[in-house]
Amino acid sequence: MPIITLTTDFGLRDGFVGTLKGVILGISPDARIVDISHSIAPQNILEGAYALARAFPFFPTGTVHVAVVDPGVGTRRRPIAARLGDQFFVGPDNGLFTPILEQIEQQQLPSKCIHLTNPDYWLPEVSSTFHGRDIFAPVAGYLSNGVALEKMGIPINNPVRITMLKPQRTDTGWIAHIKVVDVFGNLTTDLPASEVTNHEGTTFSLCGRSSHGLVDSYGHKQPGDLVALIDSENYIELAIVNGSAAQTLGARVGDTVEVSVKE
Amino acid sequence: MPIITLTTDFGLRDGFVGTLKGVILGISPDARIVDISHSIAPQNILEGAYALARAFPFFPTGTVHVAVVDPGVGTRRRPIAARLGDQFFVGPDNGLFTPILEQIEQQQLPSKCIHLTNPDYWLPEVSSTFHGRDIFAPVAGYLSNGVALEKMGIPINNPVRITMLKPQRTDTGWIAHIKVVDVFGNLTTDLPASEVTNHEGTTFSLCGRSSHGLVDSYGHKQPGDLVALIDSENYIELAIVNGSAAQTLGARVGDTVEVSVKE
Amino acid sequence: MPIITLTTDFGLRDGFVGTLKGVILGISPDARIVDISHSIAPQNILEGAYALARAFPFFPTGTVHVAVVDPGVGTRRRPIAARLGDQFFVGPDNGLFTPILEQIEQQQLPSKCIHLTNPDYWLPEVSSTFHGRDIFAPVAGYLSNGVALEKMGIPINNPVRITMLKPQRTDTGWIAHIKVVDVFGNLTTDLPASEVTNHEGTTFSLCGRSSHGLVDSYGHKQPGDLVALIDSENYIELAIVNGSAAQTLGARVGDTVEVSVKE
């Protein structure tokens, strides 16, 4: 059974997500539909990009990922679909797939990107405000049925990318940034754990507080302690044991984290 | 595989929705269960009615829609099931299906409504506070298995309807009303777009602000602008580009929108 | 098709739940995955325990229930799996399954508990912060595929239990406690309804207000009234008709309810 995932800023109250699923099941009755997130902050492309980037590597070959965070719906922004590595991606061409494109390129996997121009694979009527329902859901349904990507539009090689923060080298270590604040208030940074080789001798400072050394997991310190650790995607994470680092420190996405290594 | 949708005010925290799904899968193991919404405001029948009305037209023939917003559970309000057009609906008889009944009648589609009186299709024990679990979920399961609606109770022709606001004609246009505030803070009105034929010459006023003319989509104006456009269900919608009209204007469901057409 | 349920404190925004589902479907492509709750308060083991305890009895034989509320992830707390009655349970050994273990013992059903020690049924790489993804989801996938529990680790007979409040006998009745506050603000207590035999003559007092007698359901009193009734799991519940008892009374989990019976 083909798998289709959904990542949107539609929320769970209004019935928009159910509508997408009705459209998909009408086209691809055997599809397994999996929600990645529908609680992306409205129009926050970066947040949607990271949620999907976190989840997609754990899905089987051939999964079709639909992502709709789409402030430009109904304008000239292109609807696109892509085969990146062995999975498919469908959504607006506004940078939502940037971190996935970067991963695919780093791993030198094949990629093919299509500007969706063939209305044969859309709903008969296309509104100007709900392309999730009218274009992206049906395209995903047909892809999951085995329709070739190439039939759906015109190849492009310049999908839009958003600028993502990158950690910067300093004399004593790095200036990293908070990339994601998760539901626990844990702070994921953009610094790959592989860059921190001195686990005991590194200090992490943000919002006026510091943590010395990396711990293996939250429970290795006392409740309330600020700890630095390697997150489940191999980046440096800051957390308050049994608490919310975001709330305690007032930390937000984009804030800097000073990482200094004692020689 | 039969499809069953769920629309409730049960929230997602307490495990009520999971319980419904367990009951359904015990009766109809192949059923595809799709959530329309579980975040309807407690006891807000109108909000539930609109969420389901938005989504149901996009589901395939034979889909069974369960809706449970049920302040009268355990009283004399009737449990009902209906075949409206080519789909099924199950829930309390309190007006939840009003907009769907209206659509079905406008389109002159067949409809059949049943007072659920046959406990053969309920759980063996029926509580007085959770008919979603004990009556509606099992009835949906059996309907999806192909049990005839007619076996489940007694035909009725007077399902309860709730009063829904309707736009009123004025000398210069319409007094419309805000029908739904969605997750983006966009404001859907009760005025069908087909009533607005002069796209450039119509002015929409609410909460002390006005917007002149209809735009094609959000991105055709600047962030922060109030715009009027045709929503994805062909009603007039008011929105703030890249913002929340509900928050910016303090607008709420039921508020009036003055629509005046320049001759 | 095997059923796997999920109960976590992961929230619905960050994509953690979608990640679990990707892992499960990679191992067990036919699994039906049902969400019980992902909105358990962070690290609130008791809340997770009650949500799962509410839902599991309504699932078919052989269902695999995964529960992850896991403040001790990456420490020495054991990962466990169990067959309790005719269903399976997978998660951290921190008391999450306490109410289920109690029910199973009361009903004298068979139980078998395993310390998960065999990495053959985990993801190849195990992080120290996301055992839901790396251990529990794959174990559930393999269990749903029919792999024997016994192959996955070492039998144990001392799963961790959390202390749960119990009602206390008094001269005139009981001191009960609020066990769960649900989405409606209804207050479920720990007092089994079977202990209240005098429906008219019993008074329930909490937070300075009282309700006399049990009603059959909410709609039998006026909006705003405080009522006591038998909830859908046969415990005593306090509720405000068409309102939130939690908000109106300021009541919280753990608060006492004085139950006094007039002789």
CB contact under 8 A, C230 and B29: no
* Residue located via tokens 């079709």: A64
Distance CA C70, CA C34 (A): 20
Q: From the CA atom positions of chain A, what is the Rg in Å?
A: 20
Distance CA B12, CA C262 (A): 39
Distance CA C30, CA A184 (A): 31
- C39 pLDDT exceeds 70? yes
* Residue located via tokens 């809706």: B67
CB contact under 8 A, B35 and A13: no
* Residue located via tokens 């539930």: B48
Structure tokens at C106: 């009361």
What's chain B look like in SS3? CCEEEEEECCCCCCCHHHHHHHHHHHHCCCCEEEEEECCCCCCCHHHHHHHHHHHHHHCCCCCEEEEECCCCCCCCCCEEEEEECCEEEEEECCCCCHHHHHHHHHCCCCEEEEEECCHHHCCCCCCCCCHHHHHHHHHHHHHHCCCCHHHHEEEECCCCCCCCCCCEECCCEEEEEEEEECCCCCEEEEEEHHHCCCCCCEEEEECCEEEECEECCHHHCCCCCEEEEECCCCEEEEEECCCCHHHHHCCCCCCEEEEEECC
CB contact under 8 A, B129 and C217: yes
**A64 phi and psi, to 5 degrees?**
-105, 120
Looking at residue C141, what is its pLDDT?
98
Q: Which of C197, C181, C192, C174 is nearest to C235 (CA)?
A: C192
CB contact under 8 A, C183 and B21: no
Looking at residue B1, what is its pLDDT?
81
Decide: B138 and B122 in contact? Cβ < 8 Å: yes
Looking at residue C63, what is its pLDDT?
98
- C48 pLDDT exceeds 90? yes
Q: What is the mean pLDDT of chain A?
A: 96
pLDDT band at A112 (very low <50, low <70, confident <90, very high): very high
Looking at residue B263, what is its pLDDT?
64
CB contact under 8 A, A217 and C128: yes
Cα–Cα distances (Å) from C90 to A92, A246, C49, C117, in that order, read 39, 30, 12, 13
Prediction pTM value: 0.96
CB contact under 8 A, A182 and C14: yes
**Percentage, residues of chain A above pLDDT 90:** 96
Chain C interface, best mutation among A183, A188, A236, by max C CB count within 10 A: A183
Give CA torsion, residues A169, A175, A180, A186, to 10 deg.
120
Chain B interface, best mutation among C232, C240, C253, by max B CB count within 10 A: C232
Decide: C142 and C152 in contact? Cβ < 8 Å: yes
In chain A, what residues touch B65 (CB-CB under 8 Å)? none
Which of A36, A180, A217 is facing C73, going by the closest CB pair?
A217
Looking at residue A263, what is its pLDDT?
64
C84 beta partners: C87, C111
Q: Residues A223-232: what's their mean pLDDT? A: 96
Neighbours of chain B (3+ CB pairs under 8 A): A, C
pLDDT digits (tens, 9 = 90+) for A48-60: 999 999 999 999 9
Which of A40, A59, A231 is facing C22, going by the closest CB pair?
A59
A82 beta partners: A89, A113
Cα–Cα distances (Å) from B24 to A8, A188, B33, in that order, read 27, 39, 9
Looking at residue A68, what is its pLDDT?
98
Looking at residue B183, what is its pLDDT?
94
Cβ-based neighbour number of residue C73 at 10 Å? 22
Which of C32, C54, C217 is facing B128, going by the closest CB pair?
C217
Sign of CA dihedral A116, A2, A7, A231: negative
**B93 phi and psi, to 5 degrees?**
-90, 75
CB contact under 8 A, A60 and C13: no
B134 contacts: CB under 8 Å, gap ≥ 6: B122, B123, B125, B126, B127, C232
pLDDT band at C263 (very low <50, low <70, confident <90, very high): low
ipTM surpassing 0.90: yes
Q: Residues C229-239: what's their mean pLDDT? A: 96
Q: Which of B162, C45, B187, C71 is nearest to A218 (CA)?
A: C71
- A11 pLDDT exceeds 90? yes
Distance CA A226, CA A238 (A): 7
What's chain C look like in SS3? CCEEEEEECCCCCCCHHHHHHHHHHHHCCCCEEEEEECCCCCCCHHHHHHHHHHHHHHCCCCCEEEEECCCCCCCCCCEEEEEECCEEEEEECCCCCHHHHHHHHHCCCCEEEEEECCHHHCCCCCCCCCHHHHHHHHHHHHHHCCCCHHHHEEEECCCCCCCCCCCEECCCEEEEEEEEECCCCCEEEEEEHHHCCCCCCEEEEECCEEEECEECCHHHCCCCCEEEEECCCCEEEEEECCCCHHHHHCCCCCCEEEEEECC
Q: Residues C194-219: what's their mean pLDDT? A: 94
pLDDT band at C249 (very low <50, low <70, confident <90, very high): very high
Which of C21, C22, C130 is facing A232, going by the closest CB pair?
C130
Residue type for A117, please? T
Q: Give the chain B residue whose CA is nearest to the CA of A34.
A: B34
Distance CA A221, CA A123 (A): 55
CB contact under 8 A, B19 and C55: yes
Q: Residues A152-179: what's their mean pLDDT? A: 96
Distance CA A80, CA A193 (A): 33
B46/chain A closest Cα distance in angstroms? 12
Distance CA A39, CA A51 (A): 10
pLDDT digits (tens, 9 = 90+) for C146-165: 999 999 999 999 999 999 98
Cβ-based neighbour number of residue B121 at 10 Å? 20
Distance CA A33, CA A25 (A): 9
pLDDT digits (tens, 9 = 90+) for C97-127: 999 999 999 999 999 999 999 999 999 999 9
Looking at residue C1, what is its pLDDT?
81
**C4 phi and psi, to 5 degrees?**
-125, 125
Distance CA B215, CA B223 (A): 14
**B134 phi and psi, to 5 degrees?**
-90, -25
Q: Residues A12-19: what's their mean pLDDT? A: 97
pLDDT band at C16 (very low <50, low <70, confident <90, very high): very high
Q: Residues C211-230: what's their mean pLDDT? A: 94
Residue numbers in chain B where pLDDT is lower than 70: 263
Chain C interface, best mutation among A218, A242, A247, by max C CB count within 10 A: A218
pLDDT band at C79 (very low <50, low <70, confident <90, very high): very high
Decide: A6 and A119 in contact? Cβ < 8 Å: no
